[in-house]
Amino acid sequence: MAKRENYNDLYLFMLVVREGSFTAAAQRLGLAQSGVSRAVRELEERLGVQLLVRTTRKLSLTQAGEQLYRTVESGFDALDSGLSTLAYYRNTPSGTVRINASQHAIDKVLLPKLSVFKQRYPDIRLELISESRFVDIIAERFDAGVRLGPEVGGGMVAVRISPDMEMVVVGTPEHFRRYGFPQTPADLVVHPCIAYQFGDGTIYAWELNQDGKKITHRPQGQWAFADSYMEAKAARLGLGLAYVPQELGCR
């Protein structure tokens, strides 16, 4: 492989030609005129050709100098152009963003925002992966995840992206005629309940209120689903009570 020429000396040579003199080039760069002259002279010695004809009045290019100038000028112009395009990537976000979320979170929180997102970030490719399990966001190469509540994994940062979600306990009229209407969270123990189960086997606890106090109920029953839509459908089929987002329970 041929030895790579000193780009600094090539740039100085190009600037001397553009500015028309060693003095003007030196002033442009804030260098000593003698240093610029020496750099071009050493470039000629390394290449083994004369590039400039020096007189007391002006500089002129030799044939070899003209060829080198055209080559160097086009090369540095291309480099400047290529570097300028990097500003686009710096000023305009681009690339792929992978987000893990439940189907309900995608439907109710993320999808309504996508039209605005598209206008604001046209160069970002968004991947929305629907899963019920609490995946390791970093290990599975996600950039973010949507979760219920404030708890997040170690090393992660939580940012609220929606108002509090209203949850309701729903069942069919037939269910309530058979089992009665629960007056307190404790009454739920005699009701068949439909559980929301994450991929790791964890049962989502129902968050209830009694006389201003927060009470949790972790349902134990015959049915467990990993999707709120399926829970709501199962409740409509009379399989038990389900704890679902309010808009699903009102359908």
Mean pLDDT over 210-234 rounds to 89
Q: What is the pLDDT of residue 149?
A: 66
pLDDT at residue 137 in the model: 82
Q: How far is CA 148 from the centre of its chain?
A: 21
pLDDT of residue 250: 67
pTM, two decimals, is 0.55
pLDDT at residue 105 in the model: 86
What pLDDT, in 10s, does the model give residues 162-189? Answer: 888 888 999 999 999 999 999 998 999 9
CA 153 to chain CA centroid, nearest Å: 19
| Least confidently predicted of 31-35, 66-70, 93-97 | 93-97
pLDDT confidence of residue 86: 77
Q: Please provide the size of the chain in residues.
A: 251
CATH number of 167-249: 3.40.190.10
What mean pLDDT do residues 205-225 have? Answer: 89
Give 249 or 78, the one with higher predicted confidence: 78
Same CATH fold assignment for domains 7-89 and 92-163: no
**Contact assessment for residue 201 and residue 180, using Cβ atoms and an 8 Å cutoff:** no
In sequence order, which ranges of the chain are alpha helices (DSSP H)?
Answer: 7-19, 22-29, 33-47, 63-91, 103-105, 114-120, 173-179, 228-236, 246-249
Assess if CATH 3.40.190.10 describes domain 92-163: yes
Choices 1.10.10.10, 2.40.110.10, 3.30.70.3190, 2.60.120.10: CATH for 7-89:
1.10.10.10
Q: Write down the mean pLDDT value for the chain.
A: 87
SS3 string, 164-183, reads CCCEEEECCHHHHHHHCCCC
Residue 197: the pLDDT is: 87
CB contact set of 12 (below 8 Å; sequence gap of 6+): 25, 29, 36, 39, 40, 43
pLDDT in tens, 229-246: 899 999 999 999 999 988
Please say whether the beta carbons of 117 and 126 come within 8 A.
Answer: yes
Q: Is the pLDDT of residue 3 over 60?
A: no
Kindly list the domain boundaries of the chain, sorted by start residue. 7-89, 92-163, 167-249
What is the C-alpha to C-alpha distance for residues 168 and 221, in angstroms, rounded to an integer? 18
Which residues lie across from 206 on neighbouring strands? 217
Tokens encoding 176: 């309530």
What are 83-120's pLDDT values in tens digits? Answer: 877 776 767 788 899 999 888 888 888 999 999 999 98
